[in-house]
Amino acid sequence: MRRFYGVSLETPLMLGTAQYPSPAVLEAAFRDSQASVATVSLRREAGKGQAFWQIIRSLGVHVLPNTAGCHSVQEAVTTAKMAREMFETNWIKLEVIGHADTLQPDPFGLLEATGVLAADGFEVFPYTTEDQVLAGRLLAAGAQVLMPWGSPIGSGLGLNNRYGLKMLRAAFPDVPMVIDAGLGLPSHATDAMELGFDAVLLNTAVAQAGDPAAMARAFGLAVQAGALARGADPMEPREMAVPSTPVMGKAWL
């Protein structure tokens, strides 16, 4: 499995910690999914106090703080610094939101904030689009991981621009990439892994399911299936039917 800033993950599933109906359900989702990373929004969860932080620590997974809700470089950088102090990690999922309706990243603010944080020793996981030019600039600014969106956050639409994501993966074959946002079904996660992405990150699809723990387990199995399929060198699609049964031995009448 690809390494993320020198860390090899036990499973290619990253799971958010917001919107669960109870702490017990949150813990069950992580247990049943076998997710290896928990993403935490400092801004969203700060009011929950030490009990929440203790739950996160007890999960026994890597913690990836994020700058969710930040709409400017200054907001994002300040939030990242607060998160590093609280969680004692240089990892940061960097979000700089540019569009209120789609929550699409602001490419200009994202690039600037990536440079600032990378220079300050952060290990940046930038939430970005499938734009190859922006991807190259983010890597040049110091990011060593890319997190392109599948579709808008919380939409459940899956991989909106499958072609663009496939081309992005092909353009930077050695860069660890995580599909982040918009995954609504386990099949979406499998699709992402089959395209060659190294992990997926999701939250709403599990937290707001009727049975979050069962959905979390389904996603955990889905990413494993996708990774196995990718590693098995799957067949390419064909325009015509090809019989699987040979004609040798067939009776000719």
Q: Which amino acid is at 213?
A: A
Q: Each residue of 67-81: b (16+ CB within 10 Å) or e?
A: bbebeebebbbebbe
Whether 67 and 103 have beta carbons less than 8 Å apart is answered as no
* Token duo for residue 108: 């200009």
Contact partners, residue 205, CB within 8 Å, separation at least 6: 156, 183, 184, 185, 215, 219
- The residues that are catalytic are 93
* Number of other residues whose CB lies within 10 A of the CB of residue 24: 11
What distance in Å separates the CA atoms of residue 202 and residue 219, rounded to the nearest whole number?
Answer: 9
Q: Which helix or strand (DSSP H or E) is residue 163 part of?
A: helix 162-171
SS3 category, 31: helix
Q: What is the DSSP letter of 149?
A: B
* Token duo for residue 99: 């569009």
* Token duo for residue 50: 């030490």
Taking alpha carbons only, the member of 39, 162, 160, 34 closest to residue 91 is 39
Taking alpha carbons only, the member of 15, 1, 5 closest to residue 203 is 15
